[in-house]
Structure 1
Amino acid sequence: MSYAGIGISPGNVPVYHGSNLKVFDKRVRVVELVLRFLICGLGVLAAVLVGTDTEVKTIFTIRKRATFTDMKALVFLVVANAVAAAYSLVQGLRCVVCMVRGKVLFSKPLAWIIFSGDQIMAYVTVAAVASAAQSAVFGKLGQPELQWMKICDLYKKFCNQVGEGLASAVVVSLSMVVLSCISASSLFRLYNGGKNKSNSRW
Structure 2
Amino acid sequence: MVGIAQVNVYLRVSAVLSFVLTVCLVGLDTQTKIVFFIARKATYRDLEALRILVYVDSAAAGYNLLQLCKGLISARFEGNLKGAYICISWIGFLLDQFAAYITFAANSAAIEAAVLAITGAEEFQWMKLCNRYTRFCFQMGGALLCGYVASILMVLISFISAYNLFRNYSPNRFLHLKKT
TM surpasses 0.5: yes
Quote the residue 1:16 is aligned against: none
Q: How well do the aligned residues superpose, as a CA RMSD in angstroms?
A: 2.6
Equivalent residue number for residue 135 of structure 2: 157
The aligned length equals: 177
- More contact order relative to length (CA 8 Å, sep ≥ 6): 2
- Distance (whole Å) between structure 2 residues aligned to residue 43 and residue 63 of structure 1: 31
Which ranges of structure 2 fall in alignment gaps of 5 or more residues?
Answer: none
1:73 aligns with 2:49: yes
Following the alignment from structure 1 to structure 2, what is the Cα–Cα distance between the partners of residues 200 and 48?
A: 56
Deviation at 1:63, TM superposition (A): 1.4
Give the counterpart letter for 1:93 in structure 2.
C
Q: Which amino acid aligns with 1:133?
A: I
Cα 1:82/1:194, change in 2 over 3 Å:
farther
Decide which structure has the larger Cα Rg and report it: 1
Residue among 105, 113, 117 paired with 1:135? 113
Paired residue type of 1:59? V
TM-superposed deviation, 1:72: 0.6
Residue aligning to 1:51: 27
Structure 1 portions without partners, runs of 5+: 1-22
Structure with the higher fraction of residues in strand conformation: 1
Q: Contact 1:33/1:96 (CA < 8 Å) preserved in 2?
A: no
Q: Which of 185, 190, 193 pairs up with 2:163? A: 185
**Counterpart position of 1:7:** none
CA contact 1:39–1:88 (8 Å) conserved in 2 = yes
TM-score of the pair, normalised by structure 1: 0.78
1:146 corresponds in structure 2 to 124
Report the TM-score, using the length of structure 2 for normalisation: 0.86
Deviations 1:140-194 (A, max 9, x none): 1222443422201111111111111111100111111111122122212212278
Corresponding residue for 1:17?
none
Q: Stretches of 4+ moved more than 6 A in 1?
A: 100-103
Q: Does 1:40 align with 2:6?
A: no
How far did residue 199 of structure 1 move? 4.7
CA distance in 1, matches of 2:98, 2:150: 14
Secondary structure, counterpart of 1:63 in structure 2: strand
